[in-house]
Amino acid sequence: MSEHTSENVLVQKITADTQSRIDEVQAHAKTEVADIERATNQQVDALQAEATTQLKKKQQQQELVAVSKARQAANIALQTAKRAAVDTAFATAFAELAELSSAEYVAFFTKQADRIVPKDSVVKKVLAPANRTEETKEIVKTISDSETEIATVSSMKAGFILETAEGVFDVTLERLMGEKRSALEIDVVNEVMS
């Protein structure tokens, strides 16, 4: 064997060993890269799953808040509608009572006076609406024998106020409605909502 041949064999052996080592390193590197890639993909999948879960939770929370706000707005609207219906019912009743015929007016307020003003009261002063002075005179005659002048009050719609020796008695429609309103509101709401 010549020196040249033995060098070729040696070079071939070194080349073969080097190539074998390169192939081994590359195979090991490919395995490591695949492991790293697999681990990275698992982390990405876990992060995506967590982000999806967080997004769903946030979306559910926002839906709950939106539904809650909608329910609250609906409840407020319902309560506002109930209040408006009750106010309208009382305003209508007030207007109807204020506009009673003379005979009905006298009967209604005489009944109220009998309930509120003590019998045989000495009437000193009477305040009444300007458009109901004649009816008020009739009512006062049932309370007191004495003739009392009636002073008119422009802001008063119906009823009267008596100043007597026993005290002042408010038999105005405003006070009567105010006194009965809280007790009647529940009935009115039930009637309106049925």
- Mind listing the pLDDT tens digit for each residue in 156-166? 889 899 888 88
- Mind listing the pLDDT tens digit for each residue in 11-46? 788 888 888 888 888 888 888 888 889 988 899 888
pLDDT band at 97 (very low <50, low <70, confident <90, very high): confident
CATH code of the domain occupying 101-193? 3.30.2320.30
pLDDT of residue 73: 92
Phi then psi for residue 125, to 5 deg, are -150, 145
Q: What is the Cα–Cα distance from 124 to 162, expressed in whole angstroms?
A: 8
> Given a cut of 90, is residue 68 above it in pLDDT?
yes
pLDDT of residue 69: 93
Predicted structure pTM score: 0.59
Burial class (CB in 10 A: 0-12, 13-18, 19+), 93: middle
Q: What is the Cα–Cα distance from 182 to 186, expressed in whole angstroms?
A: 8
Instruction: Mark out the alpha helices in the chain (DSSP H runs).
Output: 3-98, 102-116, 133-143, 173-193
